[in-house]
Structure 1
Amino acid sequence: MPGNRGVSYEGPGKVEVRETDYPGYELKDGPGVNPGNVGRKLPHAAILKAVATNICGSDQHMVRGRTTAPQGLILGHEITGEVVDTGPDVEFIKTGDLVSVPFNIACGRCRNCKEGKTGVCENVNPDRPGSAYGYVDMGGWVGGQAAYVLVPYADWNLLKFPDKERAMEKILDLAMLADIFPTGFHGCVSAGVKPGATVYIAGAGPVGLAAACSAYLLGAAVVIVGDLNKERLDQAHSFGCETVNVAMGEPKDQIEQILGEPEVDCAVDAVGFEARGHGHESEAERPATVLNTLMDVTRAGGALGIPGLYVTGDPGAADEAARHGSLSIRIGLGWAKSHSLVTGQCPVMRYNRQLMMAILHDRVQIAKAVNATPISLDDAPRGYHEFDEGAARKYVLDPHGMLASR
């Protein structure tokens, strides 16, 4: 049995790569593991050798100390891997398969899974519906920023790439299927993006860039991306987006300069609860700013996709209400404009196969759009630091050197 190493959260602002247990077919006690999951038998699981495992902005929220994540939690929910072993109940997935792992952990058996709502599976987290690998309050499933990782309900959860060699040729693009590409796409679908639409996307991090790429894939006529970070805005501009620097003032005024009118058809929040203000307030945290801005700039009858993360507990929040996830949202404005809002985890399995086909048949270059950058597992602390500093990159960990060799 090979050894295993993973990226561990060691407290606010600190991660380190350390030795960790090789996966087995029983969920053991450990940092963040829900007591109701300890001892859970997993004959339906598969063990993967991680080919690519990405650093996500959601991970960064934990590393900044903005959640109740426990020290020692192995991080990572954006996993692409090669199957090296399967449990006795796995029927269709085989050793040697190259697969994408949806970040949502889903049983495939409950009412929500059967309705396609895999982001809120009822059977994998004893506390509440919804689960993910290596994430706080998500049941305690061990994260995949590691050499090896266990995936439960393998026949249901894993998306097998149809041609292994062809997939390895596009592996950086396919690595985005675990989370950010479906998440950005879901934000756009939820917002009603369609051919000819004008779209405003708040946030030029990897999810925002993935949403912008998705908007074009869906046929949008104009995609406008707003952010404070010039390097990230330049990355959005590199594949045809219009950009708005919200540090320069309200997005509405800049949108009017671009479109000739101050409103768009559709809007996507790819920022979440650590949002900052606009204009002279851009240095201050204003967690409701993005949501209120989207209602302001979206036309009456339009819709908002909200894949950006919002939490029920934020120990680093600026005020007591925000510490419990209560924000000063202008719901009256949204009501008056008859807006539709869709929130929550993206149900990755609803989109990942279609997006895989778009990648394999050269309809989209998602890795280029998000500036996917492979680094070694040992370089994970550097990747986290640079990402936190605002690097316009999507860092992809390469635990076995399989990306560097391509």
Structure 2
Amino acid sequence: MSSNRAVAYKGPGRVEVVSTDYPTFELKDGPGVNPANIGRKVPHGVIIKTVATNICGSDQHMVRGRTTAPINLILGHEITGEIVEVGRDVEFLKVGDLISVPFNIACGRCQNCINGHTEVCLHVNPDRPGSAYGYVDMGGWVGGQANYVLVPYADFNALKFPDKDQALEKILDLAMLTDIFPTGFHGCVTAGVGPGSTVYIAGAGPVGLAAATAAQLFGAATVIVGDMNAQRLKQAASFGCEVIDLSKGEPKEQIEQILRVPEVDCAIDAVGFEAKGHGANTAADAPAAVLNALMDITAAGGCISIPGLYVTGDPGAANEAAKKGALSLNFGTGWAKSISFATGQCPVMRYNRKLMQAILADRVHIAKNVNAKVITLEEAPRGYAEFNEGAATKYVLNANGYLDKFAA
């Protein structure tokens, strides 16, 4: 049996690469595993040898200690890999297939999955709808920042690349199909971005940059990205976005300087619950700051999409209400302007196949736009630290050497 190494959460600000069990076709007890899931058989699963596994901003929330994640939780939900073992009930996949794994775990059989809402599958998490690999309160499916990972309900969940050699040539772009590219695309779909739209995206992290890339695919007239990190704004500008520096104040006046009007057709929150204040308040936590700003600058009748993560448990929040996910919103503004809101995880399977085709046809180069950087699995702690410090980089972990030629 092969050995397995994985990235584990060791407490606020700390991750370590540890030796861990090789996956089996049964969910075993471990950090974060829901008791009702212990012993769950997975004959419908496959075990993959990881080709690429990415560090996500959602992982970073846990590592900062801003969730109730347990110590020793194996991290990682952005997984691309080669199948090395196939469960008894798998019919359409085989050893050697190269697959992209949606971060949402979905059974494919419940009413939500049948209706295309794979982000809120009813059968994979005993506590509530929806599940993901290596994430707090998501059922305890083991994370994918590892050499080997179990993928349940594989016939349904796995996106097989049609040509393995072609896929390996474009693997850095294809590695973004597990989460951030579909998530950014979903933000544009639900916000109503279309040809000629003006769109404001709060946050120039990887999801914000993916949303900006998607907005350009949709033919938006002007894509404006706001952040207070100069390097991330520079990255957004590198592929044609307008940028505004939120350390200089609220976005409204800066948007007016670009568009000649102080509003946009639609807006996307790619920041989430760890938002900061604007202007002189950029050092202070202000979890409702982005949402309130978006209600202010979104045109009447427009839509705000919220792919940025909000949680029900934030022990590091600035006040008792925010610790429970209760925010002080200027909701009257949104109501008066008849603004609609779209929230929740992205149903990755709704978009990943078409986005794969766009990548394979050279219609989009998402890895370049998010500044993908390959590092080894053992270098994951450094990647987390640099990402936490605001690096304008999407870190891709090269767990098994498939990405050697792309390494810096």
TM-score (norm 1): 1.00
Q: State the Cα distance separating 1:404 from its structure 2 match.
A: 1.3
Describe the superposition over 1:175-219 as per-residue Cα deviations: whole angstroms up to 9, x where unpaired: 000000000000111100000000000000000000000000111
- Equivalent residue number for residue 5 of structure 1: 5
Which runs of 5 or more residues in structure 2 are unaligned? Answer: none
Equivalences for 1:18-57 in 2 at 5 Å?
18-57=18-57
- Measure, in 2, the Cα distance between the counterparts of 1:370 and 1:147: 24
- Measure, in 2, the Cα distance between the counterparts of 1:85 and 1:401: 19
Q: State the Cα distance separating 1:279 from its structure 2 match.
A: 0.7
**Residue identity opposite 1:269 in structure 2:** D
Q: Secondary structure at the match of 1:284?
A: coil
**Residue identity opposite 1:115 in structure 2:** N
- Equivalent residue number for residue 176 of structure 1: 176
- Measure, in 1, the Cα distance between the counterparts of 2:396 and 2:374: 5
**Residue identity opposite 2:255 in structure 1:** I
- Equivalent residue number for residue 233 of structure 2: 233
- Equivalent residue number for residue 188 of structure 2: 188
Q: Secondary structure at the match of 2:113?
A: helix
- Equivalent residue number for residue 304 of structure 2: 304
Describe the superposition over 1:347-398 as per-residue Cα deviations: whole angstroms up to 9, x where unpaired: 0000000100000001100000000000000000000000000000000000
Describe the superposition over 1:49-104 as per-residue Cα deviations: whole angstroms up to 9, x where unpaired: 00000000000000000011011100000000001111000000111100000000
- Equivalent residue number for residue 348 of structure 1: 348
Q: How many percent identity over aligned positions? A: 73
- Equivalent residue number for residue 266 of structure 1: 266
- Equivalent residue number for residue 284 of structure 2: 284
Q: Secondary structure at the match of 2:405?
A: coil
- Equivalent residue number for residue 376 of structure 1: 376
- Equivalent residue number for residue 122 of structure 1: 122
- Measure, in 2, the Cα distance between the counterparts of 1:229 and 1:241: 15
- Equivalent residue number for residue 84 of structure 2: 84
Describe the superposition over 1:218-276 as per-residue Cα deviations: whole angstroms up to 9, x where unpaired: 11010000001000000000000000100101100000000000000010000000000
- Measure, in 2, the Cα distance between the counterparts of 1:326 and 1:159: 37
Q: State the Cα distance separating 1:405 from its structure 2 match.
A: 3.0
Q: Does 1:331 align with 2:331?
A: yes
- Measure, in 1, the Cα distance between the counterparts of 2:340 and 2:188: 13
Q: Secondary structure at the match of 1:354?
A: helix
Q: Secondary structure at the match of 2:201?
A: strand
Q: State the Cα distance separating 1:334 from its structure 2 match.
A: 0.7
Q: State the Cα distance separating 1:330 from its structure 2 match.
A: 1.2
- Measure, in 1, the Cα distance between the counterparts of 2:403 and 2:218: 29
Describe the superposition over 1:304-357 as per-residue Cα deviations: whole angstroms up to 9, x where unpaired: 110000000000000000000000111111111111100000000000001000
Q: Does 1:256 align with 2:224?
A: no
**Residue identity opposite 2:384 in structure 1:** Y
Q: Secondary structure at the match of 2:82?
A: strand
- Equivalent residue number for residue 403 of structure 2: 403
- Measure, in 2, the Cα distance between the counterparts of 1:74 and 1:283: 30
Q: Does 1:98 align with 2:98?
A: yes
Q: Secondary structure at the match of 2:22?
A: coil
Q: Secondary structure at the match of 1:7?
A: strand
- Measure, in 2, the Cα distance between the counterparts of 1:196 and 1:291: 24
- Measure, in 1, the Cα distance between the counterparts of 2:332 and 2:100: 41
**Residue identity opposite 1:315 in structure 2:** P
- Measure, in 2, the Cα distance between the counterparts of 1:336 and 1:169: 50
- Equivalent residue number for residue 203 of structure 2: 203
- Measure, in 1, the Cα distance between the counterparts of 2:218 and 2:18: 42
Q: State the Cα distance separating 1:280 from its structure 2 match.
A: 1.1
Describe the superposition over 1:127-182 as per-residue Cα deviations: whole angstroms up to 9, x where unpaired: 00000000000000000000000000000000000000000010000000000000
Q: Secondary structure at the match of 1:84?
A: strand
- Measure, in 2, the Cα distance between the counterparts of 1:313 and 1:206: 23
- Measure, in 2, the Cα distance between the counterparts of 1:100 and 1:163: 13
Q: Does 1:133 align with 2:133?
A: yes
- Measure, in 2, the Cα distance between the counterparts of 1:20 and 1:262: 53
- Measure, in 1, the Cα distance between the counterparts of 2:274 and 2:405: 37
- Equivalent residue number for residue 320 of structure 1: 320
- Equivalent residue number for residue 65 of structure 2: 65
- Measure, in 1, the Cα distance between the counterparts of 2:360 and 2:336: 43
Structure 1 runs (4+) deviating above 3 angstroms are none
- Measure, in 2, the Cα distance between the counterparts of 1:15 and 1:245: 31
How large is the RMSD of aligned CA atoms in angstroms?
A: 0.5
- Equivalent residue number for residue 166 of structure 1: 166
**Residue identity opposite 1:164 in structure 2:** K
Q: State the Cα distance separating 1:401 from its structure 2 match.
A: 1.3
- Measure, in 2, the Cα distance between the counterparts of 1:211 and 1:401: 29
Q: State the Cα distance separating 1:26 from its structure 2 match.
A: 0.5
- Measure, in 2, the Cα distance between the counterparts of 1:339 and 1:276: 23
**Residue identity opposite 1:402 in structure 2:** Y
